[in-house]
Structure 1
Amino acid sequence: MNDYLQTYHPNLRRTPHLYHQSEFGIHFSLGDDLSPLNDVDGINNDYFQLVYQQAMTIFDELFHPDDELIWVTNMYKSKYEKKNVRPLKVYQPYLKDKRALYRLHVHTYPYPFENDEEGDEMQQFSLNCKRNDIRILPLLKSAIHEDFPLKPRFGGYAIGYPDVLFVNTTKNVTFFLYDDRGCEVTSLNADTIRPLYETYKSWIAEYDRQDIEERLRIK
């Protein structure tokens, strides 16, 4: 993971807001301005079904069965707090072959965000695998469910929900579904992701469109 990023993404911090770290990127807004909540049972199922479909469509465009990828998870935790810490449950439920867990790497970094509390840190897990090794849709749903009492969900540490992103090392593309509101796609060159923009530009907020078109050299 570190060797790959140093070679191909030396300025990428491997944390949220990838779009703002990269020269070439797209920010998709999901849900088509629907509300995730309704007045009947609280959860708008139509909204979530749409977000599932949009996220899966973008993932399918970026990751083909034989592509090599790195599945990255950022877990945020206290260095000192040992109580009420849930175990890591991001890889095991979604891996088809649990033996792949032996290839999981972990590195610890300082907490990457502004924070008034001392003693927090980020543990970053990474796994080299292929798309077909993963139960993709349940995994994407877990990312989408971050702010809602819906299942499936990730297990994580007490101070924050884990962030999951994917690096396609075959195409040099990165995908980060941050929650139900949207996802970020970055690339080493504009040509790789320009067709994605052209096909799904209706999923991009109007206020983002000009910036993205400038990044992707769209006239």
Structure 2
Amino acid sequence: MQLNDFMHENYRNLQLRLPLFYSWDIGIRFELGVDWKKEYDYPNNPYVVGCYKRAITLFEALHAPNEEIFVVMDIHDFKNGRNLKRKLKNFPRYINKSLLFRVKHEALPFIYPEDDEEERFITHRFTLQCKTSDFNYMPLLKAICNKDLGLKPYFCYDVYFININRKTIFHVYDDRGCDLLATSPNAIKDIYHKHNDWILDYDRAEIDKVFNTTL
């Protein structure tokens, strides 16, 4: 299955772009980082370990090892591609090397059209369809959480994990939180209940409305 076909069939009119939660009617926004303190400027501090734990726990609750997923990575670069080669060195370390030939590439209009300099940039989208077990997701999730914390390794590109069978989209945007989208409330009702205390309070009222009929 092609990513575009999957999106057209299940998420018609949704663009994979930030912020996902506010672009779809069925979703949950989780808080990852809690109780940050200014002295937490070293690796594996309590704040960042908490971020890692929540991100990995949610990922594993959504993606069984043998399930088929799309891993989608968006790199925003100058149209001349001068930084693309250097940036791509970061992606292969998380993939089973035997699957690199499966990675598909497409060049898209710059994903953030509100930017005044959109004509200078382009979005390179790389997509891999594989099993969850083929992807080294733990270090990648940690690197995404690190990106705004001054910790290494860090990963500063947009990455979306799409479960083909469950029809969910999971996106960790940074240490603050992550978005989970679904085609129906029932598909993620178990996650909503099990990790209810991780839901971002700012959006809780709207999220609760979605799941009221399934309580």
TM-score normalised to the size of structure 2? 0.90
The question of whether the paired residues in 2 share the 8 Å contact of 1:25 and 1:216 is answered with no
**Paired residue secondary structure (2:88):** coil
Q: Which amino acid is 1:143 matched to?
A: I
The Cα offsets for residues 169-191 of structure 1, whole Å up to 9 and x where unpaired, read as 01001100011000000000001
SS in 2 for 1:216: helix
Question: Contact conserved, 2:42 with 2:151, CA < 8 A, in 1?
Answer: no
Q: 1:53 is aligned with what amino acid?
A: K
How far apart, in 2, do the equivalents of 1:9 and 1:84 lie?
Answer: 29
Q: How many residues align?
A: 210
The structure richer in helix per residue is 2
Counterpart in 1 of 2:46? 46
The equivalent of 1:147 in structure 2 is 148
Structure 2 gap ranges (5+): none
User: Alpha-carbon deviations, 1:68-111, whole Å to 9, x = none?
Assistant: 1000001101103626962313431112x202110001111111
- Structure 2: distance between partners of 1:178 and 1:208: 16
**Where in structure 1 are there 5+ consecutive unaligned residues?**
155-160
Q: Is the 8 A contact 1:36 1:43 kept in 2?
A: no
1:157 aligns with none
Which residue type is aligned with residue 109 of structure 1? L
Q: Which runs of 4+ in 1 moved over 4 A?
A: 41-44
Distance 1:85 1:134 in 2: 21
Root-mean-square deviation over aligned CA pairs: 2.0
Q: Does 1:137 align with 2:138?
A: yes
Change beyond 3 A, Cα 1:43–1:142: closer
TM superposition score normalised by structure 1 = 0.89
Distance 1:22 1:90, change over 3 A: farther
Shift of 1:35: 1.2
> How far apart in 1 are the matches of 2:100 and 2:212?
41
| Distance change (3 Å), C-alpha of 1:54 and 1:79 | same
Within the alignment, does 1:88 sit opposite 2:88 as a pair? yes
Match of 1:116 in 2: 116
Matched, 1:170 2:165: yes
Amino acid at match of 1:76: H
1:204 pairs, out of 193, 199, 206, with 199
More deviation, 120-129/80-89:
80-89
CA distance in 1, matches of 2:193, 2:49: 23
Q: Give secondary structure in 2 for the equivalent of 1:35.
A: coil
CA distance in 2, matches of 1:138, 1:65: 16
Task: Kindly provide the amino acid, as one letter, of the partner of residue 173 in structure 1.
Answer: T
Percent identity among equivalent residues?
A: 32
Residues in 2 aligned to 1:91 and 1:165: alpha-carbon distance in whole angstroms = 13
